[in-house]
Structure 1
Amino acid sequence: MLYKEIHIGQFIKERVEEMGITIDRICNFFDKDPQFIESNYNSKSIEVETLLRWSKLLEYDFFRIYSSHLILYSPPAAVHKNNNEKSQKIPFFRKNIYTQEIKDFIIKRILDQEMSVHDIVNEYSIPKSTIHRWLQKNQPINKNKK
């Protein structure tokens, strides 16, 4: 899965096909006509409330796709010397928490020789030590070792 270019409608359509949900059920769930559903499939972006409803219907967190994009493609956050600058009105999320999907995506790119560790560090700003730790954990265990 490529997180750089997101066409959320395609992801939704694939999930609907995966789950085998009928168009009638989807139309009833949204209280909309089939043209609305088809326009969602063709949309590169979807209103947040609608995406939330799709996530509930399809039992899949479509927002995680966008979170993965932020983790991989947004610049590292500047370190605030004064913790009082953080907003107390909205939740604060650390950027350096990598999901298993992100780890798998990075490891696959390295193992398939699409990118080197150096390329990953430069492109996604993931520390080299973190990548090496993921690669070590991903290696198959040699059963012949004592």
Structure 2
Amino acid sequence: MRQKKFTDIHIGTMIRDRISECGVELSRICNFFKCREDEIEEMYSQKSFDTEILLKWSKLLQYDFFRVYSMHLILYSPPCSLSPNNTSSKLPTFRKNVYTQEMIEFILELIENKEKTKLQIIEEYGIPKTTLFKWITKYNETKTSH
């Protein structure tokens, strides 16, 4: 089964899916959010949420919905022209090259299904060539050992 691409973010649907996986009762959700059932049902149709609401969903369902957006940024955002060393900011700085297992699997699946070439992956996602080849080697070793 093919996973949805990270470009297809519909957070309301993802929340509904997580509720289904966890078996959380609608009455518990309503109590947590202090709202009615129809308001919760309406949230399922929303493509995005205010960050405070998303944080509440993340806590209730014990799932980091913010990471979905982080993965999207890492995979699809253009390289930053501002170097953290050249600017001063009160905001925390993050490394762009922190890849989750889901992201690695997504990238390797693109290559395996011949949706993108290795060169396209390197250029479009800014993944270092050595990193990509380490993933491919590790993936192939894991695949052949099972």
Structure 2 length as normaliser, TM-score?
A: 0.87
SS at 1:139's partner residue? helix
Q: Deviations over 1:111-144 (max 9, x none)?
A: 232222122123322222221111111113567x
Identity %: 48
Aligned equivalent of 2:21: 18
Structure 2: distance between partners of 1:61 and 1:15: 11
- Measured on the aligned residues, the alpha-carbon RMSD in Å equals 1.8
Q: Deviations over 1:86-113 (max 9, x none)?
A: 31x2211111111221111111221232
- Per the TM alignment, residue 75 of structure 1 is displaced from its structure 2 partner at its CA by 0.8
Aligned length: 141
Of residues 78, 85, 88, the one that matches 2:87 is 85
Residue identity matched to 2:64: D
1:41 aligns with 2:44: yes
Aligned equivalent of 1:133: 134
Aligned equivalent of 1:28: 31
SS at 2:141's partner residue? coil
Residue identity matched to 2:51: V
Q: 1:31 to 1:119 in 2, by over 3 A?
A: same
Structure 1: 4+ residue segments shifted above 6 A: none
Q: Deviations over 1:62-81 (max 9, x none)?
A: 0000000000110112253x
